[in-house]
Amino acid sequence: MLSILGLFLGLGLLAFLIMRGYHIIIIAILCSAIVAITGQLNLYNAITDTYMAGFVSFFKSYFPLFLVGTIFGKFMEETGAAASIAHLIVSKLGKDKAVLAVTLACGILAYGGVSVFVVGFTVYPIALMLFKEANLPRRFIPGTIIFGSITFAMTCPGTPQIHNIIPVKFLNTTPMAGTTVGFITAVIMLVIGQIWLEKMIKTAVNNGEHFVSRDTDNIKSNEDKGLPPGLLALLPLISSIILLNAFNFKVEVAVLCGNIIGIIILNKYVEWKKLCDDFGKASVSAVNAIANTCAVVGFGSVVKAVPAFTILVDAIVKIPGPPLVGAAIGVCLIAGITGSASGGMGIAVPLLSPIFLAKGVAPDALHRILAIAAGGLDSLPHNGYVVTTLNGICGESHKDGYGPVFWLTVVLPIIATGFAILLFTLFPNLP
């Protein structure tokens, strides 16, 4: 009983302190200590061995992916390639489709492997301009960007994003695992989410809301002078996806090759004197990003070592219905507690995979369900990307801007997960 109380105390305190803005590395160690003491583990060994084993293991496995992904995103940002892709979509759809243009711009960049933080910073000025021209309430900009970045795009088959890559190692699958159900679910999330978003905005406009300018706004015109051609800018993204899925390149190699191809074909837009400095800054960002995730995974390693966790896992495994339901609930809850889909998957996938494979679940189906389900509760208010996009990029408070984020990136992915489970259950032989 003490172990169970300590487990929930540690988990609750972790989520609370992250939401209050405390640094994850410090509070992860603190909360690990609470779990270890109440679970009657040796405190010193729990931190220096168990916690650090989880921390270092995740770093070793995924730092190359974090590194090349962050450098790739920095390259797309500095050359103007990311902005060019966004302008291309806007020009094709028209300004009357401003909201859809922002969603698709974010989705294409995220699916191609660009860091979501880079996506947010890149697309925000364009979104701001489009929302102003359409006189739409600016509080919906964060929801539009986050929806486009972390729902259908990040969990779709074929993407080099880490959420789609973590299950590969433990399930011996490929990034295209669960192809048919994965793409169907992604389309459903995009269509339903976009209709839902547009309806929320329309309701707000009918209630008298409109765009309100701020002194801090730096709204640029839709001028694309100095940017690479949009179709040319897409080639590095397309290259990495093709190399990953058609030629079975390792994900890190595929993204790196996409970056090299980008440097070659976009060389006239590269500031060579700044290139090493830009990549150095991206490397530092990669270390910070993965260290934060490793801290959560280290905490999860301590959690897995206490008796209470075995009880909770047994309860999840025994949830009635298709086995995929238990797997989805498990990864969704852990991602929600940690405030991170990748952190949650880093904890849940190695733990749950052998259990549900032993229950007869197909590896491809389990891969896709874990990827989609991790994108549900992960974007609660304490999620790092949500906080950064709302407050840091868009300058909106949680009170004003989080509502659309909740419906589109928490509720919608949970619904999509249920639909994907239904498809896998009714049609288990789908490719």
Across 347-371, b (16+ Cβ under 10 Å) vs e yields bbbbbbbebbbeeebbbbbbbbbbb
Q: What pLDDT shows up at residue 225? A: 55
Rounded to whole angstroms, the maximal C-alpha distance in the chain is 65
CA-CA distance, 77 to 69, in Å (whole number)? Answer: 12
For residue range 284-341, what is the model confidence (pLDDT) as tens digits? 888 887 887 788 788 888 888 888 888 877 787 788 888 999 999 999 988 887 677 8
Q: Is the pLDDT of residue 167 over 50?
A: yes
3-state helix, strand, coil in the chain (%, to 5): 80, 0, 20
Q: Is the pLDDT of residue 58 over 80?
A: yes
Query: Cα–Cα distances in Å, from 158 out to 96, 226, 419?
Result: 31, 31, 20
CA-CA distance, 48 to 387, in Å (whole number)? Answer: 30
The closest alpha carbon to 239, from 205, 220, 263, 222, belongs to 263
CA-CA distance, 14 to 303, in Å (whole number)? Answer: 12
Angle among Cα 391, 392, 398 to the nearest 5 degrees reads 10
For residue range 102-140, what is the model confidence (pLDDT) as tens digits? 999 999 989 988 878 778 877 888 888 889 888 999 999
For residue range 364-413, what is the model confidence (pLDDT) as tens digits? 999 999 999 999 988 888 777 887 788 778 888 888 899 999 999 999 99
Q: Greater confidence, 369 or 351?
A: 369
Mean of all residue pLDDT scores within the chain = 88
CA-CA distance, 249 to 342, in Å (whole number)? Answer: 21
Q: Which residue has the tokens 């999620």?
A: 383
Q: Greater confidence, 75 or 1?
A: 75
Dihedral (Cα; 120, 122, 125, 127), 10-degree rounding: -60
For residue range 196-255, what is the model confidence (pLDDT) as tens digits? 999 999 999 999 999 988 876 765 544 555 789 989 999 999 999 999 999 989 888 998
DSSP, res 409: I
The count of other CB atoms within 10 Å of the CB of residue 200 is 17
CA-CA distance, 422 to 24, in Å (whole number)? Answer: 36
Question: Rounded to the nearest 10 degrees, what angle do helices 52-78 and 116-134 cross at?
Answer: 50
> Reduced to 3 states, what is the DSSP secondary structure of residue 278?
helix
DSSP, res 376: S
